[in-house]
Structure formats: C-alpha cells, structure tokens
C-alpha cells in the first residue's frame, strides 16, 4: 500500500519523483500528490484523487516550481475517502511543513481532539494531518526537523512511515518508520527515500533498510539514522539485485502477463545454488536455526495471508511427508488472537512476498515473544519480516509489479519445498536416494512449467473470451491440488470480480454440490493416476457427479490421462512430472484464465479495484 518517494540533490525533483511514483503504482492507490521546495525556498504542493495521470494533468495545468528537495505519495485510502482534500501531502497550518504517511495512526482521534482544543483547524478527514500539525508544533519549539520527529513519533501508536520537509530546512528530508517499510537509496551527491527500492533503482542500486523505530535524515551529501531516543544507528548497506528494466513491462500488454512468463526463471532462480551433491543444503540460516536446533523441532506453523497462505497449504503436505513433523497453516491475521501454543521447539515459518505484510509481521513478533523459532520466506531483500526473524530463505523471483501474485507464488512453494527437504535430511526422515529423486524432479520443473505456459495460453485465452459473461466459477482439487483450486478461485475474484470458490473435491457431497446446475463451469485439478491411483479414481468420480448435474468441466490433468478425457468438456494437459511438482505446473493455467477473463471484460489486470500489492496495515 501507499507509495513513497523522496529526493534531495541537485536535480529538479518533480519529474524524478513522478517517475518514482510511476514505478510504485503496483502497490495500489486511489490518489497521488507531491511537495517541492523550489529554488526560492517556497514549499508548493499538488495533489489529485485518481490515478497518476490526473496528477500529471494537474502539473501541466498548474506547474510546480523546480527544486532539489521533494516528496511524492500515492495513497490507498484508510481514514477518509479518496478525494483531493484527503490526498497527501498534508500541510501544517502555516503551510511551511509537508507530510506524507503510509500506515495507520491508531490514536489519531485523541491526538486530534487535543489539537482541536488548541484551536487547530483541520482540512482533511485523515489521520495523517494529525502528524503534520504535531510536527509543526514540535518544530516551533526545537527549530530542528529531526528533533521534532523524535518528539512526535514517541506519541504515535500504530503503523507508520512518516516523511516530512520544512520550508526552513531546504535540502533536508526526514523520515521515521514503525511497522511500515522505508528504504534509503544512496547516490553520489544525492539521496533518496522510498517505500520500496523500485522508487529509486533507476538512479542507484545501493540501499539501506530503515529499521523498526528509527528516524532517518537525508541531505545531498549525508545520511543519518538514529533510533527514536536519538541513539546513532549504523545501517547495513546492500545492493539491489535487479535493475529498473526488470520492473518495466518490456512490451508485454500487462505486468501480470510478463510475470507469468517469468515464472520458470523465478522458480529456477529460487532453487539455484541450494543443492550440494544432489541434496538440499541451507547452510546460512543462522545459529538459532542450526541443524541441531532444527533436528529438535517438534511442531511447525506456517503463517501467511492471501496467496501466500495457499503456498503454505501446498507445502504443508510436503513438509509433513518429508520431515515427519506436524505442520499447521495459520492465517497471519488470526494467529495471535487464537492464543497458539508456542515454545522453543516450535518453528514458525512466515511467507510474504514483500516482507512487509503487516499481519504476518505481527504474527512473527508474537511468535518470537513466546519463544518460538522463526524463519521467513521472502522475495524482498532487507525487508522487515526477514530482519525480525531468526533466519530467512529468499526467493529470487525478481520484482513482482502486478497486484495479483503469480511468480512469487511458485517461488514460495519452491522455497518451502527446500525447507522441507532440508529438514527431512537433518532429521533423518528422508534417505539420500529419495531426497535426490525429489531434488531432480524439482530441478526439472522450470522447463516443464515453461512448456505449460507456452502450450496452453492461446487455448485458455479463447476459452476465457467465450466465457466473458460467466457469473460464477467453481474449482475442485484433492491433496496438493486443493490449495491450487483455492488459489485459482482467488485469482478470479481478484481480477474478474465474479463469484469463484475453491473446494476440496471430497467436500462436494457435504454441501457444495448444491451450487452445481446446468452450465456451471467447474475447473478440476486432477492428480496423476501414476502416483495417486486411489486419489485419481476419487476425483474422476467427482467429475462424473458434477457432469451428471449439468456442469461444464475444465480438467487440468497430466497428458495421456485417458480416464478423464470422456468426462471433460475441456482438457488442459500437463507434462508428466512428480506428485509434488504437479501444483507448480497446474496453477499456471488458472492464472492465465483469470488474467484473460479480466482482459475479456475490459478490466485493469495489473491494478484490480480495492486491492494493494503490499498490505502494510492490519
């Protein structure tokens, strides 16, 4: 949620900030604005509800002054609707200070009441404006913007990244973060701040993540990080592993189209360098997740939300089978409120593409507070969740810009499979021959996935266009196919805005079959008859049940599955593969279908309504 860009340096910052906001559009937003300190030292702002195009039009009609200090923001509405008035930046009463904000200030009502009692007049409905007025009041006392931040942030509760500029301090941007992402971009004679490295990667690949409860002050020639009490902090610099072109469409009609085609490489990159002599070895998990510690783990809890939770559901089957340890999957936002039983022999594995998903972060913090060991699966270097976990397995999917996750999903499954194989080895639950066979199957999956995407796209596109007026689609699966069915349904809800439900096929007769009527479209993820003969027979029986009630069946089954052919109205074949890699192949046709159905309906594939890429509020 909420894209943030800031710049100090010799360049004219308006165009630079607008370009940074453009690269952050994937985060989801409903208004945008910028603030510039011009060459004469005047603070000027422009902001508009709607997409960046509306703000760009405003800047053409009412140009903003050139200056080397500026802020930019794309807002996802929380407090107050998506209006010009509620868009960021927000100004102090005297107009000399501008603030942008990502997150929610939970105690804003009491702070606002205090300010109103002091005679402050509010211009918006946002919680952010409270911070603007508090900072202005603190600045009048101290005459120093960093000190004003230190005074104010200690009064705020909730999740926030706050950035501000003041007319009296040109060439200075100050930011603070708690439970919301902020990254520094280190340039030559210039510096940047962003909610994501995409904000500045076109200009520098040197980055430093701002830590929890830290304040950063950037000037063209310096960066200073302190904690909320004023203590000096040494930030850890890292190099961004991709360039700006990786976050561009590159000729594809949608980012999601591009990212589905990138899935094989994302999968291969996640596996790369993590095997030795045919066995998975994760040697850099840290002392708290040493082989000795992991061998003694008695229970694993996977915590995630949305698509990541379905990656966890797939992995649960594999980790239990390979490591012979009980595995539970918990929705991150329900985790702490269920008062789970946690101790040092519990391993909590969090899954988050951004590493900033707020409810997942809170779940990790809860787990650590109760003594559990924590491991993060994440796609974003330097993100908060990995830094607050005992260890991390990074996926290497590259930037994922489309709001609906695709390549991150298959990379998350692959990373969790690596964890499961690693645990199986060190716990002695997997013999080396079986381990190597599983690794071989996994390493062969990227090229098989590439074949699925290339061979099925045109057929699925045609199918989706035939079904442009469809109002409901059901998805069925068993075993690892069940969470793939859930993910297929989620993609359709996200992109096409129609009713879609995923079910365990065995649940049909316990209620959901009542939904099946003549013409009802049902996708069925069919397990391989070679590896799961009994399960395969049951799913074929389920297909016959729904066909008898008039359903239109679209089966995703391995090539040569003769038992399915007579009962499927459409068959999307998959290459022969192992049972654990089937979900990595089966999900691609469902992703493509959701994309193409949304496309057929004339919808925005990359930025679905009401959704944000990185959910940084609870």
**pLDDT 10s digits, 347-365:** 999 999 988 888 999 999 9
Measured CA to CA, the distance from residue 422 to residue 274 in angstroms comes to: 10
**Which residue among 2, 47, 112, 258 is the active-site one?**
2
Q: Where is 101: in which H helix or E strand?
A: strand 97-105
Domain count, the chain: 2
pLDDT at 616 over 60: no
Judge if 515 and 387 occupy the same domain.
Answer: yes
Domain boundary pick from 223, 247, 271: 247
Mean pLDDT of 397-426: 95
Domain that residue 273 falls in: 255-600
pLDDT, residue 613, reads: 67
User: 158 pLDDT band (50/70/90 cuts)?
Assistant: confident
Reference 96, options 128, 150, 139; nearest CA is: 139
Measured CA to CA, the distance from residue 436 to residue 427 in angstroms comes to: 16
Judge if 7 and 117 occupy the same domain.
Answer: yes
Query: Is 47 a residue of the active site?
Result: no
Judge if 188 and 265 occupy the same domain.
Answer: no
* Contact indicator for 17, 24 with CB cutoff of 8 Å: no
Ranges 220-229, 243-252, 501-510: which has the least confidence: 243-252
Judge if 218 and 353 occupy the same domain.
Answer: no
Judge if 453 and 552 occupy the same domain.
Answer: yes
Q: 3-class secondary structure for 501-537?
A: EEEEHHHHHHCHHHHCCCCCEEEEECCCCCCCHHHHH
**pLDDT 10s digits, 308-343:** 999 999 999 999 999 999 999 999 999 888 888 999
Reference 104, options 163, 178, 6; nearest CA is: 178
Query: What is this structure's pTM?
Result: 0.81
Q: Where is 264: in which H helix or E strand?
A: helix 263-271
Measured CA to CA, the distance from residue 196 to residue 28 in angstroms comes to: 13
pLDDT at 93 over 90: yes
Domain boundary pick from 247, 264, 295: 247
Query: Is 613 a residue of the active site?
Result: yes
Q: Where is 301: in which H helix or E strand?
A: strand 299-304
Judge if 77 and 190 occupy the same domain.
Answer: yes
Judge if 280 and 232 occupy the same domain.
Answer: no
* Contact indicator for 509, 545 with CB cutoff of 8 Å: yes
Judge if 28 and 55 occupy the same domain.
Answer: yes
| 609 in a structural domain | no
ω before 89 within 30° of 0 (cis)? Answer: yes
Judge if 259 and 238 occupy the same domain.
Answer: no
| 181 in a structural domain | yes
Judge if 53 and 177 occupy the same domain.
Answer: yes
**Which residue among 47, 258, 491, 613 is the active-site one?**
613
pLDDT, residue 131, reads: 95
pLDDT, residue 8, reads: 96
pLDDT at 256 over 90: yes
The SS3 of residue 403 is coil
Percent of the chain with pLDDT over 70: 98
pLDDT, residue 610, reads: 85
| 615 in a structural domain | no
Domain boundary pick from 247, 280, 312: 247
Judge if 442 and 527 occupy the same domain.
Answer: yes
pLDDT, residue 2, reads: 77
pLDDT, residue 176, reads: 96
| CATH code, domain carrying 445 | 3.40.50.10490
| 613 in a structural domain | no
Judge if 84 and 203 occupy the same domain.
Answer: yes
User: 10 pLDDT band (50/70/90 cuts)?
Assistant: very high
| CATH code, domain carrying 237 | 3.60.20.10
Which pair of tokens denotes residue 191? 């510096």
**pLDDT 10s digits, 163-190:** 999 999 999 999 999 878 899 999 999 9
């Amino acid at each position: 949620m909420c894209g943030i860009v800031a710049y100090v340096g010799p360049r004219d910052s308006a165009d630079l900030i607008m370009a940074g906001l453009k690269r952050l559009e994937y985060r989801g937003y409903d208004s945008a604005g910028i603030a510039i300190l011009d060459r004469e030292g005047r603070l000027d702002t422009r902001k508009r509800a709607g997409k960046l195009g509306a703000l760009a039009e405003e800047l053409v009609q009412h140009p903003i002054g050139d200056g080397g200090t500026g802020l930019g923001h794309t807002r996802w509405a929380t407090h107050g609707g998506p209006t010009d008035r509620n868009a960021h930046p927000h100004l102090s009463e005297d107009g000399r200070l501008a603030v942008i904000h990502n997150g929610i200030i939970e105690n804003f009502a009491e702070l606002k009441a205090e300010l109103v009692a002091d005679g402050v007049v509010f211009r918006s409905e946002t919680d952010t404006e409270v911070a603007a007025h508090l900072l202005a009041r603190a600045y009048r006392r101290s005459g120093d913007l960093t000190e004003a931040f230190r005074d104010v942030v200690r009064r705020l509760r909730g999740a926030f990244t706050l950035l501000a500029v003041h007319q009296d301090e040109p060439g200075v941007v100050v930011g603070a973060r708690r439970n919301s992402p902020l990254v520094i971009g280190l340039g030559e004679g210039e510096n940047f701040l962003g909610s994501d490295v995409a904000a500045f990667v076109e200009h520098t690949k040197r980055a430093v993540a701002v830590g929890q409860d830290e304040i950063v002050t950037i000037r063209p020639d310096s960066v200073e990080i302190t904690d909320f009490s004023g203590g000096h902090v040494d930030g850890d610099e890292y190099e961004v592993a991709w360039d700006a072109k990786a976050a561009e469409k590159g000729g594809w009609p949608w980012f999601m189209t591009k990212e589905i085609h990138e899935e094989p490489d994302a999968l291969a990159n996640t596996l790369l360098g993590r095997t030795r002599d045919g066995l998975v070895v994760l040697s850099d998990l840290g002392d708290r997740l040493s082989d000795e510690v992991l061998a003694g783990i008695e229970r694993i809890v996977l915590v995630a939300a949305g698509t990541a939770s379905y990656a966890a559901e797939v992995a649960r089957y594999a980790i239990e089978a390979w490591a012979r340890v009980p595995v539970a999957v918990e929705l991150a936002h329900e985790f702490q409120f269920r008062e789970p039983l946690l101790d040092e022999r519990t391993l909590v594995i969090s899954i988050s593409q951004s590493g900033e998903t707020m409810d997942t972060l809170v779940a990790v913090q809860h787990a650590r507070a109760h003594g559990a060991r924590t491991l993060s699966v994440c796609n974003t270097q330097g993100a908060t969740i990995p830094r607050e976990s005992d260890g991390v397995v990074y996926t290497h999917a590259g930037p994922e810009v489309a709001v609906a996750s695709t390549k991150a999903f298959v990379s998350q499954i692959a990373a969790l499979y690596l964890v499961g194989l690693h645990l199986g080895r060190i716990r002695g639950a997997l013999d080396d021959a079986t381990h190597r066979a599983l690794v071989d199957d996994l390493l062969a999956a990227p090229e098989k996935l590439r074949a699925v995407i290339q061979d099925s796209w045109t057929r699925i596109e045609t199918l989706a266009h035939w079904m442009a007026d469809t109002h409901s689609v059901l998805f069925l699966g068993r075993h690892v196919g069940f969470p793939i069915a859930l993910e297929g349904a989620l993609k359709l809800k996200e992109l096409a805005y129609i009713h879609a439900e995923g079910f365990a096929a065995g649940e049909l007769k316990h209620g959901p079959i009542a939904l099946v009527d003549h013409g009802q479209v049902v996708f069925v993820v069919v397990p391989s008859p070679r590896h799961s003969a009994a399960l395969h027979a049951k799913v074929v029986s389920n297909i016959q049940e729904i066909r008898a009630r008039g359903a239109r069946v679209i089966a995703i089954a391995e090539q040569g599955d003769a038992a399915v052919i007579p009962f499927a109205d459409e068959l999307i074949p998959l290459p022969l593969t192992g049972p654990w890699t089937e979900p990595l192949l089966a999900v691609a046709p469902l992703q493509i279908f959701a994309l193409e159905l949304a496309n057929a309906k004339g919808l925005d594939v990359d930025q679905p309504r009401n959704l944000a890429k990185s959910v940084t509020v609870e």
